């Protein structure tokens, strides 16, 4: 992405890569006369749909071409926070994905702490339908949710007093 340029929301690029993924193989046990599925891994083609979203900023959805179609979504939380700060009229600056200036650290921390995981999962569902329509028939019957998203821990957005002081020195 070019520094200082503005970008419209939508699809940016599609890339593909051969990667390993979880899989199931059909097996037949001659001794018992029973069939079963054995869990394992295989190589399969993955598509990376890079997008710019109004809420998330730049991100991607990784779509494997082999069942069980375990989707992976990614977005940069710093870009999300920049969008939120801009929306509230607060200034900030990023340099190599690090904040070098935030006009109101307390407000930024409050916004970062309010990231709604359920809203995030809903957004990921929308992206899954857009870039992998095959997910629609697999909608979970119990909850009606489109996909089950695991949100792993990420680097903390909480600022300590020391880091807030050092950021103030950087922005002075």
The whole-angstrom separation of Cα 69 and Cα 13 is 20
Phi, psi of 160 (to 5 degrees): -85, 165
Tokens of 149: 């998203």
Reading the chain (172 residues) residue by residue, the pLDDT tens digits are 555 666 789 999 999 999 998 888 899 999 999 999 999 998 999 999 999 998 888 899 998 888 777 888 899 899 889 989 999 999 999 898 899 999 999 999 999 999 988 888 888 888 888 888 765 655 554 345 556 666 655 544 444 344 444 444 444 4
Is the entire prediction scored with pTM above 0.85?
no
Give, rounded to a whole angstrom, the gap between the first and last alpha carbons of the chain. 27
Label each residue of 57-68 as H, E or C.
Answer: EEEEEEEECCCC
The whole-angstrom separation of Cα 126 and Cα 53 is 11
């Amino acid at each position: 992405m070019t520094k200082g340029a503005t970008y419209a929301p939508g699809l940016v690029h599609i890339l593909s890569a051969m990667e390993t993924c979880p899989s199931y193989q059909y097996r037949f046990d001659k001794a018992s006369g029973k069939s079963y599925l054995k869990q394992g891994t295989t190589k399969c083609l993955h598509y990376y749909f890079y997008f710019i979203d109004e809420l998330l900023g730049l991100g991607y959805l990784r779509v494997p071409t082999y069942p069980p179609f375990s989707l992976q979504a990614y977005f940069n939380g710093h870009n999300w926070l920049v969008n939120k700060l801009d929306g509230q009229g607060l200034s900030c600056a990023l340099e190599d994905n690090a904040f070098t200036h935030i006009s109101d650290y307390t407000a930024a921390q409050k916004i970062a702490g309010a990231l709604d995981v359920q809203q995030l999962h809903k957004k990921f569902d929308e992206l899954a339908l857009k870039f992998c329509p095959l997910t629609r028939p697999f909608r979970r019957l119990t909850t009606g949710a489109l996909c089950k998203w695991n949100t792993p821990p990420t680097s903390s957005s909480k600022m300590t007093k020391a880091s807030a002081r050092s950021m103030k020195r950087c922005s002075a």
